[in-house]
Structure 1
Amino acid sequence: AKLLQAAERPVLVVGSGLYYARGETALAQFLKQQRIPTLLPIWDRGTVDGPTEEFLGVVGAASGGPRLLPDADVVILAGAEFDYRVGQISAPGLAPDAKVVRIHADASRLRNGLEADLSIAGSPATVLRQLAEECRRLACPPAEAWLAEARRRRDEFRKQCLKTAERLRPGLNGCDVVQAIQQVVTEDTIWLVDGGNIGQWFHQLLPNRCPGRWITCGASGVVGWGLPGAIAARVLSPDRPVILLSGDGSFTFTVAELECAARQQLPFVAVVADDQRWGITASGQIKRYGEPLYSTLGPMRLDRVAEGFGCVGVSVERSEDLVPALREALSSDRPT
């Protein structure tokens, strides 16, 4: 709490450890009180259960993000890991004189990677509640000015993402797909995200849509789990809408599971962003070499593949057709 009392640019990074500690209420109360810019390591389970001014999206995306961690003077990791997504908490991803506080339920993890300035073994939810109480006792001021600057940086970065989408026209792009899905999801929707490139679009454009309800690959970055994951989500939650957002490469890892879903009458909606390449790999190669190297796929008619397995197959090529197609798919009693 004394570190926060003296801090001018604090940043809170909340990871899956806080989610599994059931820390939603503790986090919401802490943020309302201290107004600290808050980030989620990409692919982690989020603990923000609704839109909030303090939550500014993910950190560690291959597509970049607003400059926040490098300018922070105090960084608190609550249930988050020391790994590539937070720049290993070292320069240039972090200022050399920044103070690092790490909160983790597993004491053995506190010395993994670089040692923090302050390490606390305990439930991240419990520690955040205690930290809020101590901040009130010390009258730690809320970080209003820094939060306003952080939100400005976030908004500017998002504008750059949208400009990138415009440069990709004509034709569909990841931005179109994510914005279309945004119009049909509800608070009950279970949303699975499987894929590198389309996953980046998702995390950059929808960082504030209840991340506790996202299901992603986790820190390992694996792909191909989405179809089995959607089937499992439907079995566990038969009355909730299930949407899988996948890349074409990821989808084809386990595409035969469509037969399993059709045979067992487990309807869900799979939206496949088909760019005929390993998009996230190709993007890096184009940036470095000017062209993709051994990372192209297809072309594939995945709608016909779905039909062959007993599902509904739909091919959409225009952005204006996405939302109607999604609404029709959500009303179907077959995997679509």
Structure 2
Amino acid sequence: MSTVTGGEAVVAALVAHGVDTVFGIPGTHNLEIYRHLATSGIRHVSPRHEQGAGYAADGYARTSGRPGVAVVTSGPALLNAAAAVGQAWSDSVPVLVVSPGLPLRHPGLGNGYLHEARDQGAAMAAIAAASIRVTSVAEIPVAVAQAFALMTAGRPRPVHLEVPLDVLLESGEAAPVRLPERRPAAADAASVAAAAARLGAAARPVLLVGGGARGAAAQVARTAERLGAPTATTANGKGVLPEDHPLALGAGLHLPAVRALVEEADVVLAVGTELAPSDLWAGPLPLEGRLVRVDVDPLGALANATPAVALVGDAAATLVALLEALPGPDPGAPAAERAASCRTRKQAESRAEGAEWLAVVDELAEALPRDAIVAADSAMVCYYGALANLPTSRPGSFLYPTGFGTLGYGLPAAVGAKVADPGAPVVALLGDGGIMFTLAELATAAELGLPLPVVVVDNAGYGEIRNEMIDRDDPVHAVTFRSPDFVAIGRAVGCAGVTLEGPAGLADAVREALAADRPTVVHLRIPSAPTTEGAAR
């Protein structure tokens, strides 16, 4: 035990849990944390907005496999980060947001205190796995350990830690507490045996893989090969099975070819996916009586479809146990033939669906190395174009805001990914609407000197919503904008830049940007984009 301030105890606890990087913005109320961060050995990255800090921590977590940490101040700063917390919850990403709170003896009805929020902890508890508020310095080490337990034991989720301002400043006795080592556990033996019996007898198995399998890539590949199962993924599972693998169908569970394959299957093995509407688009898959499900979360094992057999356990450990229990030899050529047939149909569908964006995606595919990471935004070029058409080969190589569907995610997530894996080629892919939500993070990327291509595909506003208005026969209203000079903005904060009048030349621009000593804004104008709004058509 030693006598420390609350801020010192917070930083010591982060160090004890192996935190090497935090993304944050100092403010009046969190200076006691920053005082000790400065000498802690933890790297600090300064985004320009708290939403950017949260998304960068998310990108860091998805890329590194470790919790991302954001440190913000109270009130408006914390609420600025709330969209990122909601996205991390939706995509099961371990993000810890640390903030001050109002003093312990603050009057309940408020008195106009700086950054006063009526109940910021309740706001965060509504969108995170938990909001933990401590009441003494001595509680801080245990609270941080609890936060890491919530983020890493079972289904990963974001957590908010609130330390009242007076507790941050006061002194007390505290010693860091480390989590006991935990071995990932497989599902119970009876469930594994039941699943192995079904899968071992299957003639037409299919494997569906989600983000919960990111840490089980080797086991997923072995399972697919052992079963002879064509394998499709969700957006967050993209790359878990390299998309040049003979059994890989890639991402795009919503496409008719994947639905047809599932309808023909006698057993469907789903690993680490909630089979969410945001991945399926066209409604639930027909899985009654044929679904074997692996999920670390008992609730997740029941989400959106009831399994015939539920395997509740760590994906990697459970697949190892399942492989050991499966009878018989590995299947031969027919498995690859089934996959190839489905892949051909699926590729035709995905390229038709993403036709407007194919030239952009194909240029990117030409430029990006096999180990590249794409941080995508909620943009048409990403979900119609890149999701099912841009090949990836490693887990966590397609960072995308599924479910919650925030705009502005791609750029700060790319910063977080590049900080987590400096040797990996990283590209941010956004629309002109989305980048405006976190445009300030160009300055963050420039300050860090990141060789980061920031590809802005400009269709003059909110293209998806514009199309929905047209489909509804509504007036086209409030969705078409004149774009700023993104290259000039980038240069103003220290980036390089190039403007392209269409996709031609994008591959060369991205290659040059990956070799540069700073970020490069690649402003790609779509020649057919509208310039004015009008009545419904």
**TM category, shorter:** 0.7 to 0.9
Q: Flag structure 1 segments of 5+ consecutive residues without an equivalent.
A: 167-172
Give the CA deviation at 1:48.
1.8
Q: Which of residues 98, 101, 105 in structure 1 aligns to 2:292? A: 101
Counterpart of 1:170 in structure 2 is: none
- Note the alpha carbon deviations across 1:220-272, whole angstroms, 9 max, x for none: 32221222122223333333332111122211110011122223433311011
- Note the alpha carbon deviations across 1:20-79, whole angstroms, 9 max, x for none: xx2122111122222201111124464224621111022345x76643334433222111
1:82/1:92 Cα in 2 relative to 1: closer, same or farther (>3 Å)? closer
Q: Determine the C-alpha separation between the residues in 2 that align with 1:176 and 1:86.
A: 24
Give the CA deviation at 1:150.
4.6
Q: Which of residues 253, 260, 266 in structure 1 aligns to 2:444? A: 260
- Greater RCO structure (CA 8 Å; 6+ sep): 1
1:205 is the counterpart of 2:389: yes
Give the CA deviation at 1:114.
3.9
Counterpart of 2:366 in structure 1 is: 183
Amino acid at match of 2:221: A
Counterpart of 1:11 in structure 2 is: 206
1:84 is the counterpart of 2:273: no
Counterpart of 2:31 in structure 1 is: none
1:69 is the counterpart of 2:69: no
1:176/1:265 Cα in 2 relative to 1: closer, same or farther (>3 Å)? same
Tell me how large the CA RMSD over aligned residues is.
3.0
- Note the alpha carbon deviations across 1:116-144, whole angstroms, 9 max, x for none: 21111111112222222322x2x277385
Structure-to-structure mapping, 1:161-176, within 5 angstroms = 161-163=350-352, 173-176=356-359
Amino acid at match of 1:2: A
Give the CA deviation at 1:96.
6.2
1:327 is the counterpart of 2:511: yes
Instruction: Tell which structure's C-alpha radius of gyration is larger.
Output: 2
Give the CA deviation at 1:100.
1.2
Q: Which of residues 337, 340, 344 in structure 2 aligns to 1:155? A: 344
Amino acid at match of 1:309: V
1:113/1:298 Cα in 2 relative to 1: closer, same or farther (>3 Å)? same
1:297/1:140 Cα in 2 relative to 1: closer, same or farther (>3 Å)? farther
Q: Determine the C-alpha separation between the residues in 1 that align with 2:391 and 2:472.
A: 28
Contact 2:207 2:232 in 1 (8 A): yes
Q: Flag structure 2 segments of 5+ consecutive residues without an equivalent.
A: 1-195, 521-537
Amino acid at match of 1:55: A
1:293/1:161 Cα in 2 relative to 1: closer, same or farther (>3 Å)? farther
Q: Secondary structure at the match of 2:498?
A: coil
Q: Secondary structure at the match of 2:360?
A: helix
Counterpart of 1:169 in structure 2 is: none
1:87/1:264 Cα in 2 relative to 1: closer, same or farther (>3 Å)? closer
Amino acid at match of 1:220: F
Contact 1:9 1:143 in 2 (8 A): no
Structure-to-structure mapping, 1:217-236, within 5 angstroms = 217-236=401-420
Q: Secondary structure at the match of 2:460?
A: coil
Q: Taking structure 2 as the reference length, what is the TM-score of the superposition?
A: 0.54
Q: Taking structure 1 as the reference length, what is the TM-score of the superposition?
A: 0.83
Contact 1:14 1:40 in 2 (8 A): yes
Amino acid at match of 2:462: W
- Note the alpha carbon deviations across 1:272-306, whole angstroms, 9 max, x for none: 11111323334444445498554333333222222
Count of residue pairs the alignment pairs up: 323
Q: Secondary structure at the match of 2:500?
A: coil
User: Percent identity at matched positions?
Assistant: 29
Amino acid at match of 1:80: T
Q: Secondary structure at the match of 1:53?
A: coil
